[in-house]
């Protein structure tokens, strides 16, 4: 019996130490939900890093046993692996390069070596479970080398790769000394997916210019193996957000929060702490809005949730300090005893409180400088069960290709984003409804379950096409 193995850097849980023991916190992310329909079936399994260090051999065995019950298998990373592979090559080399933040790229051979070694560690962990007739779906930029490593050992396996972050233009790709090995690693897969057409186009151009492999309508001939490359925009668990917004739990939170905040217009912004999200730009735009429109002071405020992330990486620490300073600046400049411009939270929130933030906010300001997809904007739209609300969305987010009924902005254009907020604040309800309804219709149709299905169907199609060609 063949099985399907999902692989990602992180498992859809996080392992946490508590009083000398450990516990597993499930991840509520959309991807985990969408892939639940796969890895929880039969002999299928999800392989990845449990997100924390387990040094003791006895405890490791316990973790393996516990995870087995959840249909998962761990790849343990040492402190050095985390420092050089995860924080290092993944998040100080690939992440900034692929998001066009070339000033943040660290080029370290030591990082590259660790990246190769940890990809190999993942490969070995998979080989301990996989056979040549299995399907292996590898996720994201931390594991670019894995498809080819697997292909060398399991030549007939069905291997897929999906990249959740942008793929940059050839001009960026060629800056990386390890560009050739990275691309070769990816083409070990039978199917390579990106969120947008542009990412796919950039990848095909890099593969053409760096590996000398041409493509025909997204099909590459690599080592006599057909590899398909295409765009598969990821959706959300629409129903979950819609249901949550209508639930008594969320409604209670809304009531409570509104009592505290009073009658004012609310803007919501939610991001992981990351320089790609453009958080400082957004704060500066909000200051400009209040500077130029005194009528909004005391009447409009912003709820800004920043979720801690990668806090051992220097560029993230510097960003945190910059945000703290900017929020302090604007709040000290405009606050009154009963109003603050920005309600700033540096932490994550329970699901129903987030749902309440989405439901009660009039405007979502989603203005990343670069983003593979961005699911926050989709979650906001799905939560608007009364059809009222306006989404302001960056053209640089993958989601902008689908959510064309948002007010689309260039996040670097301070004047443009400020005008978009003014436009949103004065948009009549009829127009809000038209825009939200149209976006909801497409999000409902192309939800996370549909995304998984379309991707898996394509994978099967590619395998059939390969078999067809071989038999000729």
Residues found near ligand G6P in the complex (CB under 6 A): 10, 140, 164-165, 309-310
User: Least distance (Å) from ligand G6P to the CB of residue 435?
Assistant: 26
User: Least distance (Å) from ligand G6P to the CB of residue 221?
Assistant: 29
Nearest residue to ligand G6P by CB is 164
Closest CA to 378 of 231, 277, 235, 242: 235
Residue 471 CA to residue 448 CA, distance in Å, equals 35
Looking at beta carbons only, is 140 or 190 nearer to ligand G6P?
A: 140
Q: Residues 393, 403: contact at Cβ < 8 Å? A: yes
DSSP 263: S
Looking at beta carbons only, is 271 or 447 nearer to ligand G6P?
A: 271
Distances (CA, A) of 340 to 167, 253, 366: 39, 20, 21
Work out the angle at residue 38's Cα, subtended by the Cα atoms of residues 34 and 40, and round it to the nearest 5 degrees: 105
CA dihedral over 235, 240, 243, 248, signed as positive or negative: negative
User: Least distance (Å) from ligand G6P to the CB of residue 49?
Assistant: 9
User: Least distance (Å) from ligand G6P to the CB of residue 244?
Assistant: 21
Residue 380's contacts (CB-CB under 8 Å, 6 or more residues apart) are: 268, 358, 361, 364, 366, 389, 391
User: Least distance (Å) from ligand G6P to the CB of residue 323?
Assistant: 18
User: Least distance (Å) from ligand G6P to the CB of residue 252?
Assistant: 30
Looking at beta carbons only, is 309 or 414 nearer to ligand G6P?
A: 309
Q: Which two tokens stand for residue 160?
A: 């897929």
User: Least distance (Å) from ligand G6P to the CB of residue 309?
Assistant: 5
Q: Residues 392, 417: contact at Cβ < 8 Å? A: yes
User: Least distance (Å) from ligand G6P to the CB of residue 78?
Assistant: 17
Tracing tokens 């920005």 back to the chain, one arrives at: 342
Distances (CA, A) of 1 to 138, 281, 400: 20, 53, 41
Residue 221 CA to residue 227 CA, distance in Å, equals 6
Looking at beta carbons only, is 179 or 310 nearer to ligand G6P?
A: 310
Residue 1 CA to residue 154 CA, distance in Å, equals 16
Burial pattern 171-209, b for ≥16 Cβ within 10 A else e, equals ebbeebebbebbbbbbbbbbbbbbbbeebbbbbbbbbee
Looking at beta carbons only, is 137 or 286 nearer to ligand G6P?
A: 137
Looking at beta carbons only, is 31 or 172 nearer to ligand G6P?
A: 31
Q: Residues 187, 222: contact at Cβ < 8 Å? A: yes
Looking at beta carbons only, is 198 or 433 nearer to ligand G6P?
A: 198
User: Least distance (Å) from ligand G6P to the CB of residue 464?
Assistant: 30
DSSP 165: S
Looking at beta carbons only, is 165 or 393 nearer to ligand G6P?
A: 165
Work out the angle at residue 254's Cα, subtended by the Cα atoms of residues 250 and 260, and round it to the nearest 5 degrees: 145
Q: Which two tokens stand for residue 64?
A: 């393996």
Looking at beta carbons only, is 202 or 310 nearer to ligand G6P?
A: 310
Residue 255 CA to residue 261 CA, distance in Å, equals 10
User: Least distance (Å) from ligand G6P to the CB of residue 241?
Assistant: 18
User: Least distance (Å) from ligand G6P to the CB of residue 10?
Assistant: 5
Looking at beta carbons only, is 195 or 384 nearer to ligand G6P?
A: 195
Looking at beta carbons only, is 6 or 326 nearer to ligand G6P?
A: 6
User: Least distance (Å) from ligand G6P to the CB of residue 106?
Assistant: 16
Looking at beta carbons only, is 10 or 384 nearer to ligand G6P?
A: 10
45-49 and 4-10: which strand pairing?
Answer: parallel
Residue 271 CA to residue 380 CA, distance in Å, equals 13
Rounded to whole angstroms, the maximal C-alpha distance in the chain is 78
Surface-to-core class of residue 248, CB atoms within 10 Å of its CB (0-12 exposed, 13-18 middle, 19+ buried): exposed
């Amino acid at each position: 019996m063949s099985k399907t193995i999902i692989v990602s850097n992180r498992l859809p849980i996080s392992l946490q130490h508590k009083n000398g023991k450990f516990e597993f916190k499930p991840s509520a992310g959309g991807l985990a939900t969408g892939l639940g329909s796969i890895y929880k079936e039969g002999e299928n399994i999800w392989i990845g890093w449990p997100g924390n260090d387990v040094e003791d051999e006895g405890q490791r065995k316990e973790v393996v046993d516990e995870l087995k019950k959840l249909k998962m298998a761990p790849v343990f990373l040492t402190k050095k692996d985390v420092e050089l592979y995860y924080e290092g090559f993944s998040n100080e080399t690939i992440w900034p390069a692929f998001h066009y933040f070339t000033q943040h790229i660290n080029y370290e051979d030591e990082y590259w070596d660790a990246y190769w070694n940890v990809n190999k560690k993942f490969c070995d962990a998979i080989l301990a479970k996989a056979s040549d007739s299995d399907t292996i779906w590898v996720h994201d930029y931390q594991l670019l080398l894995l498809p080819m490593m697997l292909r060398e050992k399991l030549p007939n396996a069905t291997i897929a790769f999906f990249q959740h972050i942008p793929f940059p233009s050839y001009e960026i790709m060629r800056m990386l000394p390890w560009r050739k090995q990275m691309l070769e690693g990816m083409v070990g897969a039978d199917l390579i997916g990106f969120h947008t057409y542009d990412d796919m186009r950039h990848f095909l151009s890099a593969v053409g210019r760096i590996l000398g492999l041409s493509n025909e309508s997204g099909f590459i001939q690599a080592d006599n193996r057909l590899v398909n490359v295409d765009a598969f925009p990821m959706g959300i668990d629409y129903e979950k957000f819609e249901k949550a917004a209508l639930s008594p739990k969320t409604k209670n939170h809304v009531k409570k929060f509104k009592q505290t905040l009073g009658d004012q217009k609310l803007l919501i912004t939610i991001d992981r702490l990351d320089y790609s999200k453009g958080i400082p730009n957004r704060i500066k735009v909000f200051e400009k809005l209040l500077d130029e429109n005194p009528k909004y002071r005391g009447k409009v405020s912003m709820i800004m949730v920043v979720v801690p992330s990668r806090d051992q990486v220097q560029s993230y620490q510097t960003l945190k300090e910059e945000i703290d300073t900017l929020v302090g600046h604007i709040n000290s400049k405009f606050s009154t005893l009963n109003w603050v411009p920005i309600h700033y939270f540096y932490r994550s929130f329970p699901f129903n409180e987030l749902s309440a933030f989405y439901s009660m906010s009039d405007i979502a300001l989603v203005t990343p400088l670069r983003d593979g997809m961005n699911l926050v904007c989709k979650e906001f739209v799905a939560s608007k069960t009364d059809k009222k609300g306006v989404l302001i969305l960056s053209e640089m987010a993958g989601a902008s290709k689908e959510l064309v009924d948002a007010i689309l902005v260039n996040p670097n254009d301070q004047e443009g984003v400020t005008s978009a907020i003014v436009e949103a604040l004065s948009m009549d309800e009829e127009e809000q409804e038209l825009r939200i309804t149209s976006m909801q219709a497409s999000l409902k149709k192309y939800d996370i379950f549909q995304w998984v299905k379309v991707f898996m169907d394509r994978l099967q199609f590619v395998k059939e096409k390969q078999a067809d060609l071989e038999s000729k």
